[in-house]
Structure 1
Amino acid sequence: MRKFLIVLGLTISGQIAFSQNLTLNDAIGIALKNNLDIEVLKNNIQVAHINNDKSIAGALPTVTATINDNEQYTNVNQKLNTGVEIKRNGAAANQLNSNVTSSILLYNGNRVKSTKKRLEQLELQSKQLLNAQVQNTIAGVMAGYYDVIRQQAYIRTIDQSIDVAERRLELVKVQQNVGLANNADLFQSQLDLNALLQTKQSQQLIVTQAKTDLLLLLNLRPDTLIAIQDTIMVDKSLQMDNILRNANRNADVMAADNQIKIAEWAAKEVQAQRYPTLRANMGFNYNRNQQTAGQLLLNQSSGPFLGVGLTIPIYNGGIFKRQEQIAAINTKNAGLRKEILQRTLSNNVVKAYQTYTMNLQQLEEQKKNVELSKKLLDLTLQRYQLRQATIVEVRQAQQSFESIGYAFVNYSFAAKAAEIELLRLANDLK
């Protein structure tokens, strides 16, 4: 794999001693560790994993225990056919009913299986959503990291221009001392130098703010001191066909595919409602009825029981039919959303690749222009020193050098940004 090395790194003096050097891998690692959106999605995966269980799907038996113990006081007045008469006020009576019941589902039209499959797809989808957020986080950090390098590279260009302005000012002073330059040239040279110094100060503020934006992506304190000494490596070997092929495994596409399967299994759950439900029930009963007055003083029974329960849906006003229609529409919509996503993704890949190739071409040309502008500036300074060029020509050469230097940096960053976007779309950022 060929790499195009562009040396753009610059660290402002005076900050190195107090700053921690931050590499790209360190920045990505910190962002993945501290990103709150990633933490939320990790929690969602845990929730989906907990839900993805046979018990939630209804496949496991249930066991319940019930105890009712009632104590009451009643007035008893009974006349038996034997002539015996029972009459008592405030007679105590106790009723105890208890049972342990177990119920297991034997059949419900494979609804349990469909529910379990849907829960599995929900868990897989939550992982793909996390993967998508990881890719987006890495892309954002890389863009912010290289933006700092870009802004620092502007300072490098400004510093070179300041050196030229200082040389020009010295030449004007020398020429003025021998009567070959006037005050206007001196004042203009000094003003140009002052303007560049002010531009450098403004650019240093932009660098500081770019670092602050990067710290936000890393979820670190905005006043954390960092230094970035790095280069931009633009990979020139990316091919659009490979990117388009790999885009099919984009995390968002995979999540959309999971959504289709979720909708399909949900539709099968709805269809299963039309089938009978068969359950096996078993357990143990213990009942006791005791009273202090009356003909029956104690009635106690206990023992196991076993049975089956069958529920057959016959008519519910067409609710099942409507639910099936809605489920079918949801499945169709999930497929349409995936198709829309794939088309948008392909369109974004083509546009990003066009940007990528154009900036690489411009970068090669701009690299030559940087060399030419530097030669032109040196030559113009020499000619000015020999009184063969005017101060206006020197300023024009200097401005050309600055603008071409800025453009070179911009093309470098734009090519890298397009590369990052292509790798993100291909789910290949690491």
Structure 2
Amino acid sequence: MRKLHFMWLAVVLPAGLLRAQPLTRDEAVRIALKNNLGIELAKNNAEAAAIYNSYGIAGGLPVVTGSISDQEQSTSIKQEYANPANNKSSNNAFSNNLSGQVNGYVLLYNGERVVTAKKRLGTQESQARQLLNSRALMLVNNVLLKYYDVVRQQSYARTLQASIDAQKQQLAIVQAQQSVGLANNADLFQSQVDLNTQIQNLQAQQLVIDQGKTDLLTLLTLNPDSVIAVEDTILIDKSIRLPDILGAVQTTNPDIIAANEQISINQYVEKETGAQRYPSLGANAGYNYSRTRNSAGFSLLNLNYGPYAAVTLNIPIFNGNIYRKQQQVAGLNIRNAALVRDTLLLNYTANAVKNFQAYTNNLQQVETAKANYELSQKLLDLVMKRFQLRQATIVDVKNAQQSFENAGFLLVNVSYAAKAAEIALRRYANQLTN
């Protein structure tokens, strides 16, 4: 199946279109991914990691600096020599010093610390993208669950409406029978009370639907009092296989991939820390300029300028074993990251198995619930015909209605439970599709 490319789903549905036609599940996913503030935050983090992924941040590019200074000062001078004729004395003598420098430094070797740092930055960028995918995956999961919950509640409302239609038919039959003296006021009043109760149940169900739509709008980061229409059915994919899901959990789940990348990041940190224990070799070159003018004193002008070059070798000898201890701690962080990954993988695998068990069990229940719903509908139709022929009582009709409503409630709930388990399995396997 085609995987969801979260980074490219940036089509937002105009507000007017929401009022003009039903909101589909794909449109709901697109709107959520476009508007969600958490996704924007994760995108910014991924972009920041991409910016940091450079040889300059890793310390592998030359560093060029420049400086300039112009200093004017007033100095009192008193100079005495062996020959008194050369003695000099001056008050408030002015001098000016103008100096400038351009310096370039490049690192030649430091125990491959730069190479390791660049690999770490690249892995951190990849990890940030995986965390973005994970956040988007969870958002899509939540949107789909709430979307199909609205579908579920509306399906049950249709069952209640069908029951109301039957109740209205019963009331009409009682009124017709009463007009010819075959029914009393008790039957009429009971039929009216039952109809009012059914209407009240439908009104209560409509509140559940409206609140479910409000929750969905909140997930889409839209105005909670917007008007949306959801017209859909719960279709369940029956082709899911547990081995495929478990294999995908280990290889494509963004949380597991990010956990594996954290192990790699910590390994790079350990290598970077260990590289500090090796000598580092660098080269620098530049150009110096210095000019000093004095209004009094032995030297009236001193001018120095010219290029320079040097090679610097730094050898760490002893620093209290700081680098060695930091490397030991980095090794512990590698093992901790591996433990976190193993724990996460175990939990995801267990949850995938549990959801697959729920998925298969609910698929079996769906078939039974469908057959039961069809039978209860036929039973209600039969009892209504018998009631019209005065071969069934109001109690018989009420029992048939209750059986029909219960069967409808069970059918939509097991269908939703199977769909929810399917969505969870797809999330663990990173297979939620658009």
Instruction: Please classify the TM superposition score into its range, dividing by the shorter chain length.
Output: over 0.9
In the alignment, structure 1 residue 38 sits paired with structure 2 residue 76: no
In the alignment, structure 1 residue 179 sits paired with structure 2 residue 205: no
Q: What is the one-letter code of the residue matched to 2:234? A: I
Aligned partner of 1:152 in structure 2 is 154
Aligned partner of 1:225 among 220, 224, 227: 227
Deviation of residue 298 (structure 1)?
1.4
Aligned partner of 2:60 in structure 1 is 59
Aligned partner of 2:104 in structure 1 is 102
Paired residues for 1:268-283 under 5 Å: 268-283=271-286
Paired residues for 1:281-320 under 5 Å: 281-320=284-323
* TM-score normalised to structure 2 length: 0.93
Q: What is the one-letter code of the residue matched to 2:128? A: S
Deviation of residue 112 (structure 1)?
0.6
SS, match of residue 104 in structure 1: strand
Cα deviation digits, residues 246-282 of structure 1 (max 9, x gap): 1111010011111010010011011011011111111
Paired residues for 1:213-252 under 5 Å: 213-248=215-250, 249-252=252-255
Cα deviation digits, residues 335-370 of structure 1 (max 9, x gap): 111111111111011111111111110000011101
Aligned partner of 2:94 in structure 1 is 92
In the alignment, structure 1 residue 333 sits paired with structure 2 residue 336: yes
Structure 1 CA distance, aligned partners of 2:159 and 2:52?
58
SS, match of residue 340 in structure 1: helix
Structure 2 CA distance, aligned partners of 1:325 and 1:158?
67
Q: What is the one-letter code of the residue matched to 1:67? A: I
Cα deviation digits, residues 260-316 of structure 1 (max 9, x gap): 100100110110110111111111111222211112111111111111111111111
| Conserved? CA contact 2:18–2:229, under 8 Å | no
SS, match of residue 30 in structure 2: helix
Structure 2 CA distance, aligned partners of 1:17 and 1:26?
10
Structure 2 CA distance, aligned partners of 1:264 and 1:341?
19
Structure 2 CA distance, aligned partners of 1:21 and 1:384?
40
Q: What is the one-letter code of the residue matched to 1:368? A: A
| Conserved? CA contact 2:70–2:97, under 8 Å | yes
Deviation of residue 175 (structure 1)?
2.7
Deviation of residue 17 (structure 1)?
11
Q: What is the one-letter code of the residue matched to 1:80? A: Y
Structure 1 CA distance, aligned partners of 2:161 and 2:332?
64
| Conserved? CA contact 1:20–1:225, under 8 Å | no
SS, match of residue 100 in structure 1: strand
* TM-score normalised to structure 1 length: 0.94
Deviation of residue 410 (structure 1)?
0.7
Aligned partner of 1:9 in structure 2 is none
Structure 1 CA distance, aligned partners of 2:19 and 2:59?
61
Aligned partner of 2:49 in structure 1 is 48
SS, match of residue 227 in structure 1: coil
SS, match of residue 226 in structure 1: coil
| Conserved? CA contact 1:20–1:227, under 8 Å | yes
SS, match of residue 290 in structure 1: strand
Q: What is the one-letter code of the residue matched to 2:284? A: N
Q: What is the one-letter code of the residue matched to 2:55? A: K
| Conserved? CA contact 2:278–2:316, under 8 Å | yes
CA distance 1:65–1:18, change in 2 (3 Å): closer
Q: What is the one-letter code of the residue matched to 1:113? A: V
Q: CA RMSD in A?
A: 1.6
Aligned partner of 2:79 in structure 1 is 78
Structure 1 CA distance, aligned partners of 2:154 and 2:88?
106
SS, match of residue 324 in structure 1: helix
Q: What is the one-letter code of the residue matched to 1:46? A: E
Deviation of residue 21 (structure 1)?
1.8
Cα deviation digits, residues 21-60 of structure 1 (max 9, x gap): 2111111111111111111111111100110010000001
Structure 2 CA distance, aligned partners of 1:234 and 1:72?
87
CA distance 1:380–1:155, change in 2 (3 Å): same
SS, match of residue 214 in structure 2: helix
Q: Aligned pairs, how many?
A: 416
| Conserved? CA contact 1:19–1:225, under 8 Å | no
Aligned partner of 2:12 in structure 1 is none
Q: What is the one-letter code of the residue matched to 1:415? A: A
Deviation of residue 19 (structure 1)?
4.9
Deviation of residue 173 (structure 1)?
2.1
Deviation of residue 18 (structure 1)?
5.5
Larger CA deviation: 75-84 vs 218-227: 75-84
Gap regions ≥5 residues in structure 2: 2-16
Q: What is the one-letter code of the residue matched to 1:140? A: N
| Conserved? CA contact 2:387–2:397, under 8 Å | yes
Structure 2 CA distance, aligned partners of 1:336 and 1:412?
37
Q: What is the one-letter code of the residue matched to 2:244? A: N
Q: What is the one-letter code of the residue matched to 1:357? A: T
| Conserved? CA contact 2:76–2:93, under 8 Å | yes
In the alignment, structure 1 residue 361 sits paired with structure 2 residue 348: no
SS, match of residue 115 in structure 1: helix
Q: What is the one-letter code of the residue matched to 1:389? A: A
Structure 2 CA distance, aligned partners of 1:113 and 1:316?
24
Structure 1 CA distance, aligned partners of 2:87 and 2:383?
136
Structure 2 CA distance, aligned partners of 1:79 and 1:41?
74
Structure 1 CA distance, aligned partners of 2:374 and 2:309?
93
Aligned partner of 2:9 in structure 1 is none
Gap regions ≥5 residues in structure 1: 2-15
Q: What is the one-letter code of the residue matched to 2:134? A: A
Aligned partner of 1:263 among 254, 266, 272: 266
Structure 2 CA distance, aligned partners of 1:299 and 1:385?
123
SS, match of residue 282 in structure 2: strand
Aligned partner of 2:125 among 112, 116, 123: 123
Q: What fraction of aligned residue pairs are identical, expressed as a percent? A: 51
Structure 2 CA distance, aligned partners of 1:118 and 1:228?
46
